[in-house]
Amino acid sequence: MDLDIEFQAGVTLRRQLEDALRVAIRSGRLAPGSVLPPSRDLADELGVSRGVVVDSYSQLATEGYLSAKRGSGTRVALLPTSGSPLRHRQVSRPQRFRYDLRPGQADFHAFPRAGWKAALARALRELPDRRLSYGEHRGARELRTAMAEYLARMRGVVVDPGHVVVCCAASHALTMLWHVIGSRGGRRVAIEDPGWRWQRFTVEHAGLEAVPVRVDADGLVVSELAAADVDAVVMTPAHHYPTGVVMSAERRSALIAWARERQALIVEDDYDVEYRFGREPMASLQGMAPDLVAFVGTTSKTLAPALRLAWLVPPSDLIDDVENVLLVTGVSPPTLDQVALARFIEDAALERHLRSMRRLYRAKRDVLLGALDHYLPEVRISGAAAGLHLLAWLPDGTDERATAVRARDSGVGTHELHRHCHTRAPSPAALLLGFALPSESDLVAAARLLADAVC
């Protein structure tokens, strides 16, 4: 019998023989129906005791690989054979750029490893054994308490710790909210146009219809929202993604009035409001109407996307339904990580980190602004007062896509504005330029290469 087997130390002979037999059967080398050698013969051939072979045959018979009938020996079972071999697929790797100015990325080089390690170690040391079992669905008590205090202080969010929900990502929060909206009969959700593509992705994932609504210089156009016949809207009022527009007071009031009259849900994605370089950020919309607004935040821009830690403050009439989604899907960040973040906030380590990041990002922004002014005086800049990217509006008649491709070919990663538009091509053309990740000298080099690409 052609068995591909070389016995090795550390694993039982029986185990190795079983594995070899399974492989041979699966691969077809041992054809269905074929008779296996008597156990004594195979034992002799392999130089193992007969018991090893008998046990292996028996185990594989139990599993259905072999069938043994008294008198007719042991045969390979008539397995319903595999239709096709496994497709071997290369694991995809993200695209890399020499100068990565794509928006949406924080500077991962600045992650506070030592502080995070200390917070993790403390959490691991202090967490009672019982807390290693299943945790509370809404999240670890410590983190919900720390987060409620932090959000009230920093963002004017009105929330009791019991109503903070810890989740894995802003998109996770949206996914849960759309599920709840859909289960209550909702069908249509307004998204920003232009806007973050995950607004659309998550809405459609939940089987709802995404309805793009225009954003102008005052924020989302509420009159168009009112005409859109939707059950909810997701938006970035404090700092619109990707244009950087701040929603005006009139629009905020009109939005809330609309939602109250229609009993619609407003989802406020507060994705990067920590980074403002001029006046302080608007307080959250949630603080003005906690019964209508679900507030969403994340550590992806403040600490690191790899942490997969975010939070959601839903209106109180949705909290039980959201908790049920968490219960059913079993999806939460690890308790240890949650408690570590709580310690990190309580010790003011998060605020210290943010202060230093604001300095770092402001300096990088200023370098990029200076370099653009020098190399590309013809582009108009907007959206530079806050956040981690700015918009460079290209001269009239410039081909946005061709420019971005030329930039890419020279090693500079950017996003064309149209990638974030749902219904309209933007006019004039614009590129989104993130400045958080590259070094200051790389930002200058990238600006020079961009000038060549725009030509």
- Find the binding residues for a copy of itself in span 139-178 (CB under 8 A): 141, 144, 153, 156, 158-163, 168-172, 175
Shortest approach of a copy of itself to residue 396 CB, angstroms?
Answer: 32
Buried/exposed 68-101: b ≥16 CB within 10 Å, e otherwise = eeeeeebbbbeeeeeeeeeeeeeeeeeeebebbb
Q: Rounded to whole angstroms, what are the CA distances from 136 to 131, 228, 298, 335, 359?
A: 9, 38, 20, 9, 37
Contact 330, 360 (CB under 8 A): no
Residues numbered 12 to 41 that lie near a copy of itself (CB under 8 A) are: 15, 18-19, 22, 26
From 59, 302, 382, 410, residue interacting with a copy of itself (rule: CB under 8 A): 59
From 31, 217, 227, 306, residue interacting with a copy of itself (rule: CB under 8 A): 306
Give the separation between CA 343 and CA 3, rounded to whole angstroms.
57
Query: Prior bond to 237 cis, omega within 30?
Result: no
- Closer of 125 and 455 to a copy of itself (Cβ): 125
Residues numbered 243 to 282 that lie near a copy of itself (CB under 8 A) are: 246, 248-250, 252-253, 256-257, 260, 279-280, 282
Give the separation between CA 389 and CA 103, rounded to whole angstroms.
6
Q: Which residues, 6+ apart, have CB-to-CB distance to 307 below 8 Å?
A: 299, 300, 333, 337, 341
Q: Does 70 bind a copy of itself (CB under 8 A)?
A: no
Q: What is the DSSP string of 348-367?
A: THHHHHHHHHHHHHHHHHHH
Shortest approach of a copy of itself to residue 437 CB, angstroms?
Answer: 8
Query: Prior bond to 426 cis, omega within 30?
Result: no
- Closer of 85 and 397 to a copy of itself (Cβ): 85
The angle that helices 113-126 and 349-375 make with each other, rounded to 10 degrees, is: 160
Residues numbered 334 to 363 that lie near a copy of itself (CB under 8 A) are: 334-337
Shortest approach of a copy of itself to residue 429 CB, angstroms?
Answer: 27
The count of residues interacting with a copy of itself (CB under 8 A) is 112
Give the separation between CA 207 and CA 378, rounded to whole angstroms.
44
Shortest approach of a copy of itself to residue 276 CB, angstroms?
Answer: 12
- Closer of 138 and 365 to a copy of itself (Cβ): 138
Shortest approach of a copy of itself to residue 403 CB, angstroms?
Answer: 25
Q: Name residue 298's beta-bridge partners.
A: 310
- Closer of 123 and 443 to a copy of itself (Cβ): 123
Segment interacting with a copy of itself (CB under 8 A) among 108-116, 366-374, 379-387, 438-446: 108-116
From 33, 51, 64, 395, residue interacting with a copy of itself (rule: CB under 8 A): 64
- What one-letter code names the amino acid at 381? I
Closest CA to 190 of 155, 237, 243, 245: 237
Segment interacting with a copy of itself (CB under 8 A) among 210-218, 297-305, 414-422, 446-454: 297-305
- Closer of 132 and 402 to a copy of itself (Cβ): 132
